[in-house]
Amino acid sequence: MKIMTLGWRGLFVFCIVLTMCFPAWGRTIKIGVIGPMQFVQGKGHWAGATLAADEINARGGVQVGSEKMKIELVKADSNEFINVADATNAMERLMTQDKVDFVVGGFRTEAVFPMQDIAMDYKKIFIDCGAATTALCTRVAENYSRYKYFFRQTPFNDIYLVRTSFAHLAMAGAVMKKELNVPIKCAIVAEKAAWTEGMIKAAQATIPKLGMELVGTWQPSDKATDVTAELSAIQKSGANIVFTIFSASVGITFARQAGELKIPAAQVGINVEAQKDGFWEATKGMGNYVFTTNTYCRGVEYNELTTPFMDKFIKRFNETPTYTAGGTHDAIMYALVPSIEAVGSLDADKIVAHLENREYKVPSGIVKYEKTKDGKPTHDLTWGPGYLTSLGVQWQDGKLVGVWPNKWKLTPDGPEATYKGIVPMKLPPWLKK
């Protein structure tokens, strides 16, 4: 080898150069990233985590007391859409085989509950970046000593998610009233899944309060490949707005077939698949005018962190980040790492005590963890203007644009949320005929 011809002096210089070029890492910080890795939600988890970890490592790693430590990511495919048992096994492996220090990710409620219990058994901080059910954080308040290691990073809980969706629905109804001057008839279409049940009940109670007639509720499979029967029934009902509650592939099926059939109803609500850049192609352009919730949208800025994050993500992955991508990125970049550095330790109890009392900025707003009326931590997210709001986004002629919020207030005398880049919502032109 050439290095042997350098002599001892040359070898010494060579080693010095190597030391200068590459940091001397101590023990790594192992972060498990768990999610359905064959699906967009899990791919988002991994992309967001990778972006955060690479940026932190590139700037020298994490300062833990007197030691610099590198972040090491461990990918765990939960396969939770297919089999909840796979998700629990994946979490168990992270704890026992991979021996991770922290976990981020999770998506499906049915899977996150047992995943949460496993993480708590091992007293590992688990930051949820997908499941919305309120009960996950209710556990923290009711049994703090066991569940204090669980935090939500995204999305809002199901209560706030519902309220956000209702704000979108109310805006769509107002646009329809103004432009068409017709009575609003609303249908609910929700995939069959545990997370939708609470939202269905809330929607059934709230839609009449918005001055709309509820004409029916339909629940296709989350993996349905044909919803023409549901669409036919919806058309017969006279619905001119469909309130959607989709997290899985049925969102593509419903949008495509509704567009093909020119069902005379605006789609408003939650359609996770419609958050993807590939939604337009997946629906063959038939998903035009679909309105959904999202965390990010090209051209919309929450604060000074939004555009730099979006630019870096799009440059690397050539797509807009989903909320799971943004959530895992923020969980590492803004939640875990600053708290680790603040306490100078990987001790979970010390990090929890610091993190739960923080209020910090992320590219989608301000994170502040809620407490119950009697002051018990829930590790859930504060929702509303000045904190986290998410966006209402709509497909308009092949482009996803932000249409909400614009001068939105939670209370008449409260602060308002208006973001740069918001444009007016559009109704499908076939509604106007």
Instruction: Give the CATH number, domain containing residue 401.
Output: 3.40.50.2300
278 shares its domain with 407: yes
372 & 412 share domain:
no
Same domain for 150 and 163:
no
Q: Cα separation of 370 and 357, whole Å?
A: 9
Please state the rounded mean pLDDT for residues 44-66: 97
Round to the nearest angstrom and report the end-to-end CA distance of the chain. Answer: 80
Domain coverage including residue 138: 29-155+302-381
**CA dist 1 → 5, 7, 15, 239, 307 (Å):** 7, 12, 16, 77, 49
Q: Based on the domain organization, do 288 and 185 belong to the same domain?
A: yes
DSSP three-state, residue 406: coil
Q: pLDDT value at position 21?
A: 46
Instruction: Compute the distance between CA of residue 310 and CA of residue 262 in angstroms, rounded to an integer.
Output: 34
pLDDT of 37 over the 50 cut: yes
- Domain presence at residue 15: no
Number of domains the chain contains? 2
Q: Does the pLDDT at position 391 exceed 60?
A: yes
pTM of the model: 0.86
Q: Quick check: is 129 in a domain?
A: yes
Residues 83 and 43 in one domain: yes
For the stretch 159-192, pLDDT in tens is 898 899 999 999 999 999 999 999 999 999 999 9
> Out of 328-332, 353-357, 405-409, which region has the weakest mean confidence (pLDDT)?
405-409
Which residues on adjacent β-strands are paired with residue 268?
243, 291
Instruction: Answer yes or no: do 205 and 336 share one domain.
Output: no
Q: What are the residues facing 104 on neighbouring strands?
A: 33, 127
Q: Is the pLDDT of residue 103 over 80?
A: yes
- Digit-coded pLDDT (tens) for 255-270: 999 999 999 999 999 9
Contact, 103 vs 34, CB < 8 A?
yes
Tell me what percent of the residues of the chain surpass a pLDDT of 70: 94
69: confidence class by pLDDT, cuts 50, 70, 90: very high
Which whole-number Å values give the CA distances from 365 to 262, 269, 295, in the listed order?
Answer: 37, 21, 10
| Of residues 19 and 228, more confidently modeled | 228
User: 283 and 310: one domain?
Assistant: no
Mean pLDDT of 325-329: 97
Torsional sign, CA 399, 258, 253, 221:
positive
| Residue 158 and residue 195 in contact, taking contact as beta carbons nearer than 8 Å | yes
For residue 3, being part of any structural domain is answered with no
- Residue 24: pLDDT above 90? no
Judge if 116 and 54 occupy the same domain.
yes
Task: Say yes or no: 322 and 376 in one domain.
Answer: yes
AA letter at 58: A
Please, what is the Cα angle at 125 between 121 and 129, to 5 degrees? 115
Residue 378 region by backbone torsions, left for phi larger than 0, else alpha for psi between -120 and 50, else beta = alpha
Q: State whether 63 and 42 are in the same domain.
A: yes
143 and 122 within one domain: yes
What local confidence, expressed as pLDDT, does residue 14 receive? 46
Q: How far is CA 31 from CA 102, 308, 432, in A?
A: 5, 24, 52
Residue 377 has a pLDDT of: 98
> Does a structural domain hold residue 72?
yes
In a domain, 21, yes or no: no
- Read off the pLDDT of residues 260-300 as tens digits, 9 standing for 90 and up: 999 999 999 999 899 888 999 999 999 999 999 999 999 99
Please check whether residues 164 and 284 belong to one and the same domain.
yes
In a domain, 242, yes or no: yes
| Mean local confidence (pLDDT), 224-253 | 96
Check residue 312 and give its pLDDT. Answer: 98
What would the mean pLDDT of 127-133 be, rounded to a whole number? Answer: 94
| Domain-embedded: residue 264 | yes
Residue 132 lies in a domain: yes
Share of the chain above pLDDT 90, in %: 85
What pLDDT shows up at residue 195? 80
Cis? peptide before 405, omega within 30° of 0: yes
Mean pLDDT confidence for 32-45: 95
Residue 198 has what pLDDT? 83
